[in-house]
Amino acid sequence: MTDDTSGGVTRRALLGAFAATTLVATPTFSNAAGFLRGAGDIRRLRMVSTRTGEKIDTIYWIEGEYIKDAVKEISRFMRDWRLDEVKNIDTRTIDIMTAAHNLLDTKEPYLLLSGYRSSGTNAMLRSRSRNVAKNSLHIQGQAADLRLKSRSVGQMSKAAAACRAGGVGKYSRSNFVHMDCGVVRTWGG
């Protein structure tokens, strides 16, 4: 494409149209499910657990329906590995993770640092770090701490925040991003 004006579409016009559609396509929904409507008929999640070494690559949503067994598999994958305790992961959190991953335009799986945490595990972690919330959404199965080798914490947090669907915590020193389906907010540095 060139920036000429010889009757065809110019690069400048194309970029202007893209910028306009980007603004129109900016999510205004209360969760990432709305943001994902334009993503096609299939939603897929890829992750590796840094704690267990397990991998998951699953399609969990097809043509407007969640696949119960796939969501159950994701919940098992995101379990409290310390106690081998499973809690259903909120599909809104799964959708936020997927929407952010799609925006990052990578096939690399997320590295899952933390998904569901029992209240006991959360209390133990809280006793070791002031960065662990007493009433963490991890306890409710509504949060995940994630990393990508190919993307920075800044890139990941911007993608998650663009979903306008929940909380996004940026932990640059620890090299991970927290995503949850709670109130829309951002924190960290």
Average pLDDT by consecutive 10-residue portion of the chain (189 residues)? 44 40 37 53 93 95 94 98 96 95 95 95 85 88 97 97 94 96 93
14 is a domain residue: no
153 is a domain residue: yes
Helix, strand or coil, per DSSP, at residue 68? helix
**Cα–Cα distance between 128 and 126 in angstroms, integer?**
5
142 is a domain residue: yes
5 is a domain residue: no
pLDDT at 33: 55
pLDDT at 149: 96
pLDDT tens for 70-97 read 999 999 999 999 999 999 999 999 999 9
105 is a domain residue: yes
11 is a domain residue: no
Domain that holds residue 125: 30-188
21 is a domain residue: no
Which CATH number characterizes residue 64's domain? Answer: 3.30.1380
Which pair of structure tokens corresponds to residue 47? 């992750």
pLDDT at 127: 86
Burial letters 137-157, b for 16+ CB under 10 A, else e: bbbbbbbbbbbbeebebebbb
17 is a domain residue: no
Question: Structurally, how many domains does the chain consist of?
Answer: 1
Q: Where are the alpha helices (DSSP H) in the chain?
A: 11-25, 32-35, 68-77, 91-103, 119-128, 153-162
